[in-house]
């Protein structure tokens, strides 16, 4: 195989969240489905974390986690795969912003790239203010350097409200 035919593997981190229809099961199933994405490998997964809702909408608490992937897909292709999985699990686009959902999959970090497009912003905006992302991300990748934010290990997720708890 010539070098121009070889595909590069990119590290990517995905945030998972659910607060409807047995949220822990939804997140566990999503981990399995992430491992089935073409040209992509699930490398590691965080524990599950319980967190209060973000954004002020009255709703049940969330179960959150983070997955580490290696992929040959572009960031845009990977986003489409994440949205496909959300749809298959019952997520409907156009839901209330920060409202209840069966499954939410966010592309948090894609390699060392910064992408600012209408459909995709990477690193995901707000990572530094969301302990339900920082704590599980720090569990599996404490040395990760997020472009424009710094190393996960240097960010103080414990000081961010609301507090979250590791549940499994």
Selected catalytic residue, list 104, 116, 145, 166:
104
Cα torsion at 57, 85, 77, 40 (round to 10°)? 120
Establish whether 130 is a catalytic residue.
no
Catalytic residue among 22, 80, 84, 101: 101
Active site (annotated) includes residue 101: yes
* Residue entry with tokens 């997964």: 45
Q: What tokens appear for 70 in the block?
A: 């290696």
Contact criterion met (CB below 8 Å) for 58 and 7: no
Separation of alpha carbons 119 and 87, rounded Å = 16
* Residue 91 appears among annotated catalytic residues: yes
Active-site residue among 91, 97, 156, 158? 91
| Catalytic residue of the set 106, 116, 151, 166 | 106
Q: Hey, which residues are catalytic here?
A: 91, 101, 104, 106
């Amino acid at each position: 195989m010539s070098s121009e035919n070889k595909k590069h593997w990119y590290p990517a981190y995905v945030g998972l969240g659910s607060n409807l229809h047995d949220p822990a099961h939804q997140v566990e199933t999503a981990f399995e489905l992430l491992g089935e994405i073409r040209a992509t490998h699930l490398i590691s997964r965080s524990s599950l974390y319980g967190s209060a809702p973000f954004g002020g909408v009255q709703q049940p608490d969330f179960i959150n986690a983070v997955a580490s992937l290696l992929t040959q897909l572009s960031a845009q292709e990977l986003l489409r795969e994440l949205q496909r999985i959300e749809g298959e699990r019952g997520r409907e686009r156009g839901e209330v912003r920060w409202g209840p959902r069966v499954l939410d999959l966010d592309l948090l970090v894609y390699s060392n790239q910064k992408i600012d497009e209408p459909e995709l912003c990477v690193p995901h905006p707000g990572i530094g203010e969301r302990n339900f992302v920082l704590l599980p991300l720090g569990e599996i990748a404490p040395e990760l350097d997020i472009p424009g934010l710094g190393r996960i290990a240097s960010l103080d997720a414990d000081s961010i409200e609301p507090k979250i708890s590791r549940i499994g």
